Each structure stands twice: as C-alpha cells, then as structure tokens.
Amino acid sequence: MTLTDIKQFTVRRSSSEQSCAGILPPAGHFIGGTFVPGSSTQLIDVVDPTTEQVITSVQAGTAADVDVAVEAAVAAQKSWGATTPKERSEVLTLIANIIEDNREAFELIESANTGKPRTVAEDDVSSAIDTFRFMAGASRTLTSMAGGDYATGHTSVILREPVGVVGVITPWNYPLLMAAWKIAPILAAGNSIVLKPSEQTPLSTLKLAELVAGRIPDGILNVVTGQGRTVGQRLAEHPDIALIALTGSVVSGQAVAETAGKSVKRVHLELGGKAPVVVFPDADLRAAAAGVRNAGFWNAGQDCGAACRVLVHESVAEEFTEHLVREVGTLVVGAPGAGDDVEIGPMISRPHFERVKESLAEAKDAGLQVAIGGSALEGTGYFIEPTVISNVPAGAHIATHEIFGPVVTIESFSTTDEAITRANESPYGLSASVWTRDSSLSLSIPKQLDFGTVWVNSHLVLACEVPWGGFKGSGYGRDLSLYALDDYSRTKHVMINHSA
Ligand code: NAD
C-alpha cells in the first residue's frame, strides 16, 4: 500500500450554525462589578471564523479605561487581600459552580467565537471548572517556611502575602480556559485583577463577568476589552499594577516584558511552543501515531503544546509515517454545528489562515513531501486540511517555526545524541514528548530535554496539580499547581528582637 491509497479525512459543512445571539454578554468594560461604556466610541468586530460573519462588537478600550479599572482593583484588593483562605476558596468554588450551571452558554459562545468543535469547547469548559475547584482547595493548603531563631535573641516569621493588583492578558486559542488559569490562582492568592482578553475572542470572558457580577466582591475581577498595543501596553506600564501575566506570542511577551521593566514589575509569561515528539525505534509506533493524531490536531493545532514536530528514528520513519497518515485520514474537519464527530475547526482569523497557507506554500516550494492534506478548504470559513509533511530535512523553516495550525512535520534521526541535540535546537522550550518502551531512556532522555513539560508515551495530557510553563523563548512563570500560587504571592520576612 502507498501513502496515496490511504483514506483522506472527512469534511462536513453545516448549513445552519447554532446561534449564540440570545446569550451574548453586554458589550462594555466590566469595572467595579458592573458593565460600563468605554471612553472611546471605537468598536472592535468579533467574527465567527466558521461563517466569517460578525457576531457582535466590543469596546476598543483606551489607556484611560485601564486606569479606571486599576483604580477599582486597587480599592477592592485591600479587603479581598485581608480575607482568609477559606473565604477566598468559597468565592472560587462559587465561580466554578456558576460556570458549571451555565456550561451550555459557555460552550456555544466559545464555539461561535473560535470555531472550535463542541467536543473541544466542552473540554475547555470542564477544565476551566476544574481549575477553579483545584485552586479553591489548593489555596487552603499553602505553607511557608516554619518560623525559627536564626540570630541570637531574634525570631523570624515568614508571611505569604498577595502581590496586589495583577494585570492579565489572554490569547484567543482557549479564551475561557486561559482566563481561568490566571483568574483562579491570582484571586486565590488574594490579589485583584484587570484582565484584557484577546480582541478576537472576548465573549466568553465577558460572559463570565456578566454571570459573576454581584455574586463575588465588586472590583476583584475587572475586564477591559481592546487591542494589545493600547490596553495591553497600559496594563504593562501602569504603576499600580504589581505583576503582569501574559499568555500569547513571543513578540507580545517581549513587548510586555520591556515595558514592565521600566516600573520593575514582576512578569509572568506563557509564550509559544514547537513541541518535538521524539520516537525511538523500540516505541509502540501505532500508539505514537495515535498520540500525534490527538495532540497534534487538537483545537486544529492551535495549541502552544501541540505535538507538531516529529523526530523519528530513521529505521522506523517510513512505518511511523504510514501509521500517522492513516490516523490523520480518520479526522473529521468542519463547522461546530456539523456533527458531534467533528474534530477540526477553522483557523481563528483570516490573517492567521493566510499565514498558515503561506507556510504550506513555502514548504511545497522547497520541494517538501506532503503526505496528506496540504491545502486550504474551498468555501466559507478559515479551514485548513489536516496536514502531514514527511521527510523534512534538519533546519527546515516549517519544522522550526510555530505554525499554530493542523500541520505536523516528520524529520528522522540516526543516533540518540542527534535526537536530543535536534530536539533542543529550538528557540522554544515549552513541551516535548518521548516515545520508547525502554525504561532507562524514559528517564534519561527527559532529563536532557530543555522543555518545561516532557511526556513519556503520551502528549498534551494536563492536570491542575502539575505545573505548566516553559523555558527559553517560551517564557517563564508557571500556570496551574501550587507553583502558580507561589508566582502570584510574595514572601515577607518579619524578624522580632525579643532579647531586651
Ligand atoms: P498574541 O501575542 O497575538 O496575543 C495575545 C494577547 O496579547 C492578546 O490579548 C493581544 O491583544 C495581546 N498583545 C499583543 N501585543 C501586545 C502588546 N504589545 N502589549 C500587550 N499586549 C499585547 O497571541 P495570540 O495570537 O492571541 O495567541 C497565540 C500565541 O499564544 C501562540 O504563540 C501560542 O503559542 C501562545 N500561547 C501560549 C500558551 C502557553 O501556555 N504557553 C497558551 C496559549 C497560547
């Protein structure tokens, strides 16, 4: 059998998309517990990438809008920061319950705004609920170093405090979930928040604001919509913001860190990735191919941890490629409303769609072999075929740059040292996976890989108990787990002289 004999993926179109018209949130900024109009009359259209139609418009926020929100956050943080972990935990549990009670609305809004299949939207909402529940519990378990006598006649006590007001900037790929990853630990640690959602996907965050309004203390969570270069920039520079946390691209992270440096703000960055998938000759190749099918194409590959760059031993490269192409041939591409079996939705926007198409065209021009897919779908919506590019030479552009689409490349290696060197030869350091049945390799290889998460015989499996975050160009700081609570709090040493 040749690769061309293998079945192509299925495409499903939908004539009538499920509408979220009746459940849209108010289009204002959410400041001090209520929706308020912005200081500018400018609006930003929010587009459904499946239909290319405008869903609604939101405020294009200004620096002045951020200043009003920061003032509300500063005022609210004083009493919020003085609450007990138990009281804060109750508020986080309430937020989890509110999302759960409204999960249908969140899923509809998220699918309309991002084009993601309902299965992905369901998973996003479940994970957002779990994030709030985990942080509600975890925040009650925090301990500091025990007090002690370290200088004669003096006793030391270590206090853990909130940092104050935290500015948050979120991306478009998992709008509600990425907001939850920030809001839950930041509130749990006693801080207040001014959050700017992606200008492309603000709706689920505004919906959350609408539903929690009046049920959580006013001003602890504020949302200002708008562009990165105005609202995001002001959050990074505002003197009353103690820490700025961004999930997004490397370029945005660099801009935020540079601005934040001027006021010596703390910075927390979750940036891009290009996860290598290192397949050793003894690996279960079918399992590895199935793993890449799921983790390379989840959310149409628009995932910072996507299993997008396979490095497979040369002795099994052909066999692995066949397995993967067969797996990818079973994917169903289409609109969220076209059926429960749809797994791949559109790219988020026309500019992103054009960028992914350009990367594919470049790969084809460079003579690379497209094993399956390789083009955009005809018709409405920003759909790209699930694509596998095989026999990719070391250093090829498509295998070193973040494509952020349903595109997986396959390179081969000869020796273990070469596999490690090539995997680490990336500006990113977010996540990687290793596929082997050798118990010794399953620990020795992860130790040599320069990535914040390394899976063995798995990829893209996350849990709230364990940290998520990168090395190198993928940023610093950790989301999820007790480490996030550490990142969003500060320690203070109080030393008492009792010798007199
Ligand atoms: P983006 O950087 O374009 O936008 C992210 C956010 O930053 C948006 O809210 C945007 O308005 C804002 N922004 C842009 N320029 C800014 C500036 N100069 N100052 C302040 N804010 C600014 O990223 P995106 O396209 O929304 O998301 C995709 C990127 O996010 C990918 O690179 C992906 O890998 C990364 N990502 C990383 C993680 C992670 O956990 N590491 C998770 C999801 C996405």
Assign residue 346 the CATH number of its domain: 3.40.309.10
Could you tell which of 116, 131, 169, 224 is best to mutate to test the pocket of ligand 1, judged by most ligand atoms within 8 Å of the CB?
169
Burial code (b: 16+ CB inside 10 Å, e: under 16) for 252-286 equals bbebbbebbeeeebbbbbbbbbbbbbbbbeebebe
Is residue 359 situated within a structural domain?
A: yes
Sequence-distant (6+) residues with CB within 8 A of 195 are 167, 168, 169, 170, 179, 182, 183, 205, 221, 222, 223, 224
Encoding tokens for residue 278? 């290192």
Alpha carbon of 248 to ligand 1 centroid (Å):
2
Residues of the chain with pLDDT under 70: 1-5, 15-17
Q: Are residues 480 and 427 in the same domain?
A: no
User: Does 181 contact ligand 1 (Cβ within 6 A)?
Assistant: no
Q: Which of 127, 237, 304, 487 to mutate to test the pocket of ligand 1 (most atoms within 8 A of CB)?
A: 304
Q: What's the rounded Cα separation, in Å, for the pair 29 and 161?
A: 28
Maximum C-alpha span of the chain: 88
Catalytic residue among 20, 304, 308, 464: 304
One domain for residues 337 and 264: no
**pLDDT tens per residue, range 20-61:** 889 999 989 999 999 999 999 999 999 999 999 999 999 999
Q: What is the pLDDT of residue 20?
A: 87
Please report whether residue 330 resides in a domain.
yes
In 271-425 the beta strands, taken as DSSP E runs, fall at: 276-279, 309-313, 332-334, 369-372, 387-390, 407-413
Angle at CA 476, nearest 5°, toward 346 and 208? 50
The tally of domains found in the chain comes to 2
In this predicted structure, what is the pLDDT of residue 145?
86
Cβ-count burial 65-100 (b if 16+ within 10 Å, e if not):
bbebbbbbbbebbeebbeeebeebbebbeebbebbe
Structural domain including 260 reads: 21-271+474-494
pLDDT of 1 reads 54
Same domain as 241, residue 192: yes
**Residue 179, ligand 1, Cβ within 6 A:** no
* Residue that the structure tokens 């790219």 belong to: 347
Strand residues in 304-343 grouped as ranges (E):
309-313, 332-334
Q: Are residues 381 and 484 in the same domain?
A: no
Distance 430 CA to ligand 1 centre (A): 15
Q: Based on the fold, state whether residues 86 and 102 are members of the same structural domain.
A: yes
Decide whether any atom of ligand 1 lies within 6 Å of the 431 Cβ. Answer: no
Asked whether residue 9 is domain-assigned, the answer is: no
Q: Whose CA is nearest to atom 36 of ligand 1?
A: 248
- Among candidate residues 110, 270, 322, 385, the one labeled active-site is 270
Does 388 reside within a domain? yes
**For residue 171, which of 304, 344, 45, 308 has the smallest C-alpha distance?**
304
CA angle at residue 463 from 460 to 467, to 5 degrees?
Answer: 90
CB 333 within 8 A of CB 10: yes
Are both 313 and 231 inside the same structural domain?
no
- Residue-level pLDDT at 4: 62
Tokens (6 digits) for 281: 């000759």
232 touches ligand 1 (CB under 6 Å):
yes
Residue 469 within any structural domain of the chain = no
Are 235 and 150 in the same domain? Answer: yes
Position 107 in a domain: yes
- The pLDDT score that the predictor gives to residue 202 is 98
Q: Please confirm, yes or no, whether 304 is among the known catalytic residues.
A: yes
> What is the pTM for the complete model shown?
0.97
- Co-location of 278 and 267 in the same domain: no
Tell how strand 53-59 and strand 43-48 pair up: antiparallel
> From ligand 1's centre to the CA of 104, what distance in Å?
26
3-state class (DSSP) for residue 70: helix
Identify whether residues 264 and 280 lie together within a single domain.
Answer: no
User: Ligand 1 atom closest to Cα of 174?
Assistant: 43
Does 16 map to a domain? no
Instruction: Measure Cα distances from 176 to 107, 231, 259 in Å.
Output: 10, 19, 26
The letter for the amino acid at 290 is A
112 and 122 co-located in one domain: yes
Position 137 in a domain: yes
- Give pLDDT, residue 17: 66
Chain-centre distance of CA 311, in angstroms?
Answer: 24
Query: Strand, helix or coil at 428?
Result: strand
Residues 228 and 281 in one domain: no
How many helices (H) and strands (E) would you count in the chain?
15, 24
Q: What is the CATH number of the domain that holds 163?
A: 3.40.605.10
- pLDDT tens per residue, range 159-206: 999 999 999 999 999 999 999 999 999 999 999 999 999 999 999 999
Assess whether the C-beta atom of 273 lies below 6 angstroms from ligand 1.
yes
pLDDT digits (tens, 9 = 90+) for 270-307: 999 999 999 999 999 999 999 999 999 999 999 999 99
Same domain, 394 and 326: yes
